[in-house]
Amino acid sequence: MKVLAPEHHLDFGAIRKDFPIFQQKAHGKPLVYLDSTATTQKPIAVIEALVHYYRTYNANIHRGVYAIAEEATARYEQVREKVARVLGARSPREIVFTRGTTESVNLVSNAWGRKNVGPGDVIVLTEMEHHSNLVPWQILARERGATIRYIPFDGQGRLDLSGLDALLEGPVKILSLTHMSNVLGTVNPVAEIARKAHARGALVFVDAAQSLPHFGVDVRQLDCDFLAFSAHKMLGPTGVGALYAKREYLESMPPFLGGGEMIREVRLEGSTWNDVPWKFEAGTMNIADTIAFGTALDYIEHIGFEAIAEHSRRLTTETMGALGEIPGVTIYGPPASERGGIVAFTLDDIHAHDVATVLDHEGVAVRAGHHCAMPLHAKLGVPATTRASFYVYNLPSDIEVLVEGVRKAKQVFHR
């Protein structure tokens, strides 16, 4: 890892200029983009890397022996090395490219789950999971006759671990949880939970879709067995993500998708599989987007995860302070010091869609709804929340526009 520049040496105003989307307006006003939890904007370097591939060395990987095919293959595999280094994996062969977090979860729930989870077995999840880390396990549990237990969260949006020992009793095969809630922003003590789960013989799957972009992860420090993330939530293109898995599990897992590239030898009587991780990369992969994601990782590393975390914490603290002063605003989740750059709130009984529509007319893009976390919202007792989330291109001036917009929403609906 390169030495990180101290945060105050970084000019986030200059960083914003690297993102061409902010040159246009929304409803005639400057775009204030506060929906990075859904997907982040892309710096010009990433967009150019994508175009550069198509313009100069577009070729399929792992097949051709001609120059551009070899260049494409090399650059694609370099990204795998980069991801392995960023995550602290032991080897690039522990990194499988997928379409994103959702596919990574489905890969494990299918390939590992169908082989290792049987009738009466237990899967442990939490009540704050995104549907992508909930539904694949429900499908597996139903198919295999397994049961699911949920770690609850408390009124502050923190996991309640007082009953964890009891939840881990019996034939628990896997515990899967989010590292950082996409609604509450809560950062969960994954390493501590993983230690307990491992002591009971369960494997641990970590959804790092939010945590990796916001503060980086170290798979060896977390000691997780599987970890998933999406490139598009960290300045990269859509349609790319990865699964980290300890090599021993990748070796013992059957393939997920069958097809080209994932095989060693195909005969009409049957086939044998390629080495890991290619055993799990059937068909032509998302080459251009993966290579451009490598550029996104370079960009992020240049800023540094520490600086990013510090920047979003500052914006989060400011937002929670300013919104908290508006009567009728309820903010969900823990204090700013315990969360990543996400603030979900409600405003009196005004529906989140109405708040978001007023904000949209001020040029502010926020998410309104259940954010793919219906059980979490059921527990909060609200059908929908409005969510503002931050990344490297956001500035304190964005928060001012947001807060002004929320005040305006109150005026519109309470006049």
Partner 1 sequence: MSLDDFYRQTILDHYQNPRNWGTLEKPDITAQDSNPLCGDEIRIDLKIKDGKVEAVRFSGKGCSISRAAASMLTEAIEGKTLDEVKLINRDDVLDMLGIELGPVRLKCALLALKTLKVGVYGVQQSWPGEEDEG
Q: Which residues bind partner 1 (CB under 8 A)?
A: 351-354, 357-358, 361, 368-370, 374, 377, 382-384, 412-413, 415
Tell the smallest beta-carbon distance from residue 379 to partner 1 (Å).
Answer: 13
Tell the smallest beta-carbon distance from residue 329 to partner 1 (Å).
Answer: 18
- Please identify, using beta-carbon distances, which residue of 384 and 403 lies nearer to partner 1: 384
Tell the smallest beta-carbon distance from residue 357 to partner 1 (Å).
Answer: 7
Helix (H, G, I), strand (E, B), or coil: what is residue 312?
A: helix
Helix (H, G, I), strand (E, B), or coil: what is residue 302?
A: helix
* Cis preceding linkage at 277, omega within 30: yes
- Please identify, using beta-carbon distances, which residue of 27 and 90 lies nearer to partner 1: 27
- Please identify, using beta-carbon distances, which residue of 114 and 131 lies nearer to partner 1: 131
Closest CA to 37 of 399, 409, 388: 388
Helix (H, G, I), strand (E, B), or coil: what is residue 53?
A: helix
Q: Are 180 and 132 a contacting pair, CB within 8 Å?
A: no
Tokens of 329: 């605003």
Tokens of 239: 């349609």
- Please identify, using beta-carbon distances, which residue of 214 and 370 lies nearer to partner 1: 370
Helix axes 352-361, 396-413, angle to 10 degrees: 120
Exposed e or buried b per residue across 354-393, where buried means at least 16 C-beta atoms within 10 angstroms of its C-beta: ebbebbbebbbbbbbbbbbbebbbebbebebbbbbbbbbb
**In sequence order, which residues have a C-beta less than 8 Å from that of residue 397 and are 6 or more positions away?**
none
Tell the smallest beta-carbon distance from residue 190 to partner 1 (Å).
Answer: 30
Tell the smallest beta-carbon distance from residue 316 to partner 1 (Å).
Answer: 25
Instruction: Indicate the burial class of 59 (C-beta count within 10 angstroms; 0-12, 13-18, 19 or more).
Output: middle
- Please identify, using beta-carbon distances, which residue of 235 and 358 lies nearer to partner 1: 358
Tell the smallest beta-carbon distance from residue 412 to partner 1 (Å).
Answer: 6
Backbone angles phi, psi at 164, to 5 degrees: -60, -40
Tell the smallest beta-carbon distance from residue 183 to partner 1 (Å).
Answer: 13
Q: Are 76 and 290 a contacting pair, CB within 8 Å?
A: yes
What does the alpha-carbon distance between residue 345 and residue 184 come to, in Å, rounded to a whole number? 9
Residues taking part in catalysis:
372
Helix (H, G, I), strand (E, B), or coil: what is residue 165?
A: helix
**In sequence order, which residues have a C-beta less than 8 Å from that of residue 6 and are 6 or more positions away?**
none
- Please identify, using beta-carbon distances, which residue of 176 and 386 lies nearer to partner 1: 386
Exposed e or buried b per residue across 144-160, where buried means at least 16 C-beta atoms within 10 angstroms of its C-beta: bebeebbbebeeebbbe
- Please identify, using beta-carbon distances, which residue of 17 and 29 lies nearer to partner 1: 29
